[in-house]
Amino acid sequence: MNQRDLLVIGGGPAGAAAAIRAARAGVRVTVFEKGPHGRDKVCGDGLTPRAVAAMQQLDLALDDAHRIDGLRMIAGKKVRELAWPTSPRFPNHGAVWPRRRFDTFLIDAAIAAGAEVRFDSEALPVMEGDRVVGVSAGGETFSAPFTILAAGAQGAAAKMLGAERDPDEPFGLAIRAYAATPRHAERHLEACLSLRDEHGTPVPGYGWMFPAGDGTVNIGVGALSTMQGFKKLNLNTLLDQYTAIVREPWSLGEYIDKPRAWRLPMSSVRRHGPGWVAVGDAAGFVNPMNGEGIDYGLESGMLATEQFLANPATAPETYDRLVGERFDAFLRTGRRFSFLIGHPLLLRTGLRIAVGTQATADITLAVMGNLVDNETPGAAGRVMRIADRALAIADPLLRRTRATS
C-alpha cells in the first residue's frame, strides 16, 4: 500500500529542494517532517548570492525575502564593506529570509509541485541488511528504492546509517535571537570578527546583525569547536556581550523571544550507502568559513534527486562522487582553516592581515560571502588555492597542536 518512488526524511531546505525537483519530474515522493507546518529553525536567515542562485535553479522567486546588497565586516575599530559583485556565477544580491517563512515557502512549493508532505511525522530508515528499503513513521512503513536523509544536524536517523559527525573534525555552535531596530531595512549583512569570550579569549567565529526588513534584525554569535575552552563556552553570555556592543549603534530593542542555539555540523563519516544518500546538514555540508548551510542544502538536495532520476541503482555512488567534486576540497580547506584560527595568537595576527588593507579585506569579504572557492579565477581564487596547499602541509601540525587539546 505504502509504496513510493522516493522518500525524504526531513522537510528543511535540503529535503524541500529534493522533493520539489522530484515532484516536478512526476516522481511519487513523500517527505516526512517531524515538526508542524510552519515550524521555525534556529538560523541567521542569511542567503548568500550563491544561495540565491540555487533558488533561481529551483525557479523560485524571493519576493518575500529582504534583499541584501553586500557585507560589512568589523574587526576592532576597522570597518570594511563590500557590495556583492556582479559575476557570471552568482547574482549580485543575497537576502535575509526568516526561516519560519522561508522554510514554509519551500515546503509549500514542494506540495504545490505534487509532493506528499507528512508533518508531525518523525521517520526512521527501515533496513534490510545494509540496504535502506524504506522508512517507518507513525506506526506505518513506507517502501521505496531510494531514500534521501535530509534530517539536519545528525540525530537518530543518521546514527542508524552510520552517517554521524567525524569526531576528529571541527563543528560549530551558534545562537540567535530577534530584536527590533530602526535599521531593519538596511541592505548590508554585518559581521563582527573580533569576538572575545568572557575571559578575553578571542573566539574563532563571528557575531552577526542580519537585518530582516520586517522591523527586526537577526542577531547572533557562532563559534568553532577548535577554540580554546570551547567546552566551557557560554553562548548566552557571548550573545549578551555582543548585544551590548551593537545595542547603541543599532538602537536595539530587547530580544523578541528567548535566544536559541543549535549545532553546525561540518563533517559526516558517511553520506551514502545502498538505497540512500544524505544531503544538507545531514551530510555535514556547512561552510566552516562562514557557517552557511542553506545553499549547500539546496544544491545537494537538487543533486541527489537528479542522480535518482538519472539512475536509481547507481544514484548513491554518483551522488557521492559529484557532491564530493563540488564541495569536498573547499570544505576541507575550511576545516583546516578552523584549526588554524583556533589558536588565539594566529587568529589575532590573521585578523590584522584579513582586514588590514582594502585588498586583503576584499578577499576576506569574498570568503565570508561564499563568492570564492578553489575553482574561482582571479586574486581571491588564487589565495584560496595557495591557502589550500599551505593548510594541507600544515594540517598534521595544526591538529596536533589544536587549541582545545
Ligand X SMILES: Cc1cc2nc3c(=O)[nH]c(=O)nc-3n(C[C@H](O)[C@H](O)[C@H](O)COP(=O)(O)OP(=O)(O)OC[C@H]3O[C@@H](n4cnc5c(N)ncnc54)[C@H](O)[C@@H]3O)c2cc1C
**Sites of contact with ligand X (CB under 6 A):** 9-15, 32-35, 39, 41-46, 122-123, 150-152, 155, 157, 174-176, 220, 262, 264, 280-282, 286, 291-295, 297
Question: Do residues 236 and 176 make contact, with C-beta atoms less than 8 angstroms apart?
Answer: no
Q: How far apart are CA 345 and CA 349, in angstroms?
A: 6
Looking at the Cβ atoms of 90 and 344, the one nearer to ligand X is: 90
Looking at the Cβ atoms of 300 and 307, the one nearer to ligand X is: 300
What is the nearest approach in angstroms of ligand X to the Cβ of residue 283?
A: 8
Residue 210 makes CB contacts below 8 A (sequence gap 6+) with 44, 45, 46, 96, 189, 190, 217, 218, 219, 220
- What is the number of the residue whose Cβ is closest to ligand X? 293
Question: In the beta sheet, which residues pair with residue 195?
Answer: none
Q: How far apart are CA 288 and CA 281, in angstroms?
A: 12
Q: How far apart are CA 162 and CA 308, in angstroms?
A: 21
Looking at the Cβ atoms of 189 and 398, the one nearer to ligand X is: 189
What is the nearest approach in angstroms of ligand X to the Cβ of residue 206?
A: 11
Question: In the beta sheet, which residues pair with residue 132?
Answer: 127
Query: What is the side-by-side order of every strand in the sheet holding 131-137?
Result: 123-128, 131-137, 140-143
What is the nearest approach in angstroms of ligand X to the Cβ of residue 236?
A: 13
What is the nearest approach in angstroms of ligand X to the Cβ of residue 120?
A: 9
Q: How far apart are CA 47 and CA 51, in angstroms?
A: 5
Looking at the Cβ atoms of 330 and 344, the one nearer to ligand X is: 330
Looking at the Cβ atoms of 285 and 339, the one nearer to ligand X is: 285
What is the nearest approach in angstroms of ligand X to the Cβ of residue 125?
A: 9
What is the nearest approach in angstroms of ligand X to the Cβ of residue 286?
A: 5
Q: Which three cell numbers stand for residue 198?
A: 568572557
Looking at the Cβ atoms of 233 and 398, the one nearer to ligand X is: 233
Helices (H), 77-155: 99-113
